[in-house]
Amino acid sequence: MPELPEVETIRRLVERHLVGRRIIGVDLRLPKLMRDSPCPDLSVIAGQTIAAARRQAKVLVLDLSNGWSLLVHFKLSGQLAIERPDGSRDVAGHPVPDPTGPFPHKATHLELRFDDGTIVWYSDIRQFSWLRLMPTGDVEAALTAFGFGPEALDEAVVLWALKAVAPRRRIPIKTVLLDQTVIAGLGNIYADEALFAAGIHPGTPANEVSRPRLAKLARSIPWALEQGLAQGGAKIVNNKARPIDGFPAVHGRQGEPCFTCGTTVEKIRVGARGTYFCPTCQKPRLKKHV
C-alpha cells in the first residue's frame, strides 16, 4: 500500500480541501524525493494555486495555476495528512505516521502551507516514493511512459485484460494481478482480497485458471477496490488487518480464522510478496479440475 483506493482517497481529499487554495510556503526536507524530476526545484510552486487533482493508476497528479503539475507516487509507504485551521485532520495512505499523533513526524519530508492556514504534510517512512514537477502539457506523455494497463475498476475491462494475458502466462495468477501493465491500480492487499473472493489460490499458474474462474476474478477485483474506497483504504496497521464488515477477509490476518469457513488464514510468498489466503476456500486447483 498505498494502492488505488488509498490514492483515490487522497485525491478526493485534495479536491475537497485544497483545490482553489494558494500555496504560500514549501519546505522540502528530503530532496531525494525529487529524483528524476524534470524540474528538481519544488520551491517554484510557492505562490501557485492547486487547480485540479487527478489520478492515473497509483499516481496522483496535482495541476497548478502556473501551468505546471506535481506528480506523486506513494510507492510502499507514502502518506498525506491535511490539517485545517481548526485543528481537524484528514490522513490517507500508509498508517505510519500515526494519523492521530503529532505532526510533523520524523518521517515527514514535505510541508506545504496554504493561504487559509491549512497545512499539508507528506511522509514516507521508507523513502521509496517520489515527486516529479513538470509542465502540465508533459504529464500525459509521462504517464503513458509507465505503460499502465486499463484501470481495475470496470469488470468488463478487467475481464478483457485478463483474457488477453492469463492464458499465455505460467507465472502465478497473483503476479499477473500485480503487473501494472496488465491492469492498473491493483496491489498486494486488494489482489489477495480479490483472489479470496474468487476462490482462487494465489499461486495458481495463470494459464490454469479456467474461463469461469477468470470471470469470477474479474468481478471480484472491482468489488475489492470498491470495498477499499468505501473505507478510505483498507485498515492495515503493522501488517495486521483491522477488518470492517469482514474486509479485509484474508490480507493481514495470518493465524486468524477465515470469516467464511473458520480455517486458519495462512501467509506464504508469491513472487517475493507476502500473500495471505484461506487454504480451504482457496485450494490449489489443476486446470482440469477448475
273 is annotated as an active-site residue: yes
Q: Could you tell me the three cell numbers for 59?
A: 499516481
| 8 Å CB contact between 81 and 91 | yes
Give me the catalytic one of 54, 113, 169, 273.
Answer: 273
Of 243, 246, 254, nearest to 276 (Cα)? 254
In terms of Cα–Cα distance, which of 94, 73, 99 is closest to 239?
Answer: 94
Residue 83 annotated to the active site: no
Closest CA to 239 of 207, 282, 275: 275
**Closest residue by Cα to residue 217 from 247, 246, 183, 240:** 183
5, 11, 55, 58: the catalytic one is: 58
Check if 288 is active-site: no
From 3, 6, 8, 151, active-site residue: 3
Query: CA 187 to CA 164: how far, in whole Å?
Result: 20
Candidates 48, 138, 126, 133; CA nearest to 93 is: 126
Bridge partner list, 78 = 124
Kindly list the catalytic residues. Answer: 2-3, 58, 273
